[in-house]
Amino acid sequence: MTKPILYDQTSETLQTVLRELGQPAFRVKQLEEGLYQHRYLSFLEFSTLPKSLLENLGENFTLFPLELSKTITSRDKQTQKFLFELHDGSYIESVLMHYEGRHTVCISTQVGCPMGCVFCATGGMGFIRNLTAGEILAQIIFAMRQLEREGMNLTNVVYMGMGEPFLNYDHVMSSIARLTDQKGLNFGARRLTISTVGILPRIHQFTEAKSQVNLALSLHAPNNALRSQLIPSNEFYPLHALIDAAKKYTDYTHRRVLIEYALIDGVNDSLELADELATLLHGMLCLVNLIALNPGSNDTLKGSPREKVEAFRDRLMKRGMQTTIRLKRGIEINAGCGQLATTQKSR
């Protein structure tokens, strides 16, 4: 039987565990300091805790739930992709990216993905299972330790890796609670971004939570007919309902939404569609983030050439839309958006 993961435990459950072991209350603080401030990966590193307690914890809990299977580094050294094996033999990937003044980790929330977006390699894997909060946090802790060894600090976390975060809402939000808690990793909420293709009930729930975490909506088309061809879930959560929900989010939180739009050559990159997108988003507090589609699982779909991307951006800006073109990272190692997928199978 698989042992529970220590990083899945809240402060309250840790208090209960230590109390049942006859430990004084201050041990909880020492344990949490080791987990979150020092980010220990082995029970042997907890020098302030008695040996008998560490042995008991080791017998009953898994400390770090990820085993690094492979690291791939891009030619320019600005991107590293990590393949992790989980306790059940499943695999996930996360990506560490370096920009000028920023170090961002892109983390996974599911093993595979059930959404089936036609341009995404992860969707081609199908869905295996949700990650726990501890498995999500462990990816961040690994990235933090990786950077610290090189004298750098993690500046941003994006929930944009394998999986649809809002289909694993409770575990995602639990990971964020400990990520931002002062007794946890004490990471600023405004440096976090969750990306969703549009799970309508969870967008409403996220809005009501009044989180300071950034929201990104993967749109990729300005009308239902085209979007349904690219993103099957659009049949359940149609475009105008998502836009209404996004506008309610901005009205309620006064935070802008990041609109993600992958440009596919000859599919969604015409100037007419740019005009349609500007009309759709009119009046919304948002930033449109464009990127040419990365090579993925669908060989028939190609990313738009640079001149089309720039023309699309220019048309949106002419229509008054705040628009940027995303800087690509790690494409040749399949570490870009829509490229994460593992060929390893569960045991």
User: Are both 54 and 72 inside the same structural domain?
Assistant: no
Mean pLDDT (the chain) is: 91
Total domain count for the chain? Answer: 2
User: Are both 114 and 153 inside the same structural domain?
Assistant: yes
Identify the pLDDT of residue 167.
98
Residue ending a domain, choose from 37, 60, 83: 60
Query: What's at 78, amino acid-wise?
Result: Q
pLDDT at 178 over 50: yes
User: Are both 75 and 51 inside the same structural domain?
Assistant: no
**Taking a C-beta distance cutoff of 8 angstroms, is the pair 163, 338 a contact?**
no
User: Are both 108 and 176 inside the same structural domain?
Assistant: yes
Identify the pLDDT of residue 334.
47
Report if residue 201 sits inside a domain: yes
Identify the pLDDT of residue 329.
56
Lowest-pLDDT range of 50-54, 296-300, 314-318: 296-300
pLDDT at 346 over 50: no
**What pTM did the predictor assign?**
0.93
pLDDT at 339 over 50: no
Report if residue 324 sits inside a domain: yes
User: Are both 231 and 300 inside the same structural domain?
Assistant: yes
Domain that holds residue 25: 11-60
Looking at per-residue pLDDT, the higher value among 339 and 13 belongs to 13
User: Are both 48 and 167 inside the same structural domain?
Assistant: no
Report if residue 284 sits inside a domain: yes
pLDDT at 333 over 60: no
CATH number at residue 79: 3.20.20.70
β-strands 214-218, 257-263: how paired? parallel
Report if residue 73 sits inside a domain: yes
**308 — pLDDT class (breaks 50, 70, 90):** very high
Lowest-pLDDT range of 22-26, 125-129, 147-151, 297-301: 297-301
Identify the pLDDT of residue 274.
98
pLDDT at 123 over 90: no
Q: What is the DSSP string of 202-240?
A: HHHHHHHTT--SEEEEE---SSHHHHHHH-GGGGTS-HH
**234 — pLDDT class (breaks 50, 70, 90):** very high
Those residues whose C-beta lies under 8 Å from the C-beta of residue 160, and which sit 6 or more positions away, are 106, 107, 193, 195, 216, 337
Report the pLDDT averaged over residues 155-184: 96
Highest mean pLDDT among 120-124, 166-170, 252-256: 166-170
Those residues whose C-beta lies under 8 Å from the C-beta of residue 196, and which sit 6 or more positions away, are 164, 165, 166, 202, 203, 215, 216, 217, 218
**330 — pLDDT class (breaks 50, 70, 90):** very low
pLDDT at 347 over 60: no
Looking at the annotation, which residues are catalytic?
93, 337
pLDDT at 239 over 60: yes
User: Are both 41 and 162 inside the same structural domain?
Assistant: no
User: Are both 149 and 261 inside the same structural domain?
Assistant: yes
User: Are both 52 and 72 inside the same structural domain?
Assistant: no
Per residue in 264-277, pLDDT tens?
999 999 999 999 99
Those residues whose C-beta lies under 8 Å from the C-beta of residue 184, and which sit 6 or more positions away, are 32, 36, 177, 178
Looking at per-residue pLDDT, the higher value among 346 and 34 belongs to 34
Q: What percent of the chain has pLDDT over 70?
A: 93
Identify the pLDDT of residue 276.
98
**337 — pLDDT class (breaks 50, 70, 90):** low
In angstroms, the CA 61 to CA 80 distance is 29
Identify the pLDDT of residue 1.
60
Report the pLDDT averaged over residues 306-331: 89
User: Are both 200 and 96 inside the same structural domain?
Assistant: yes
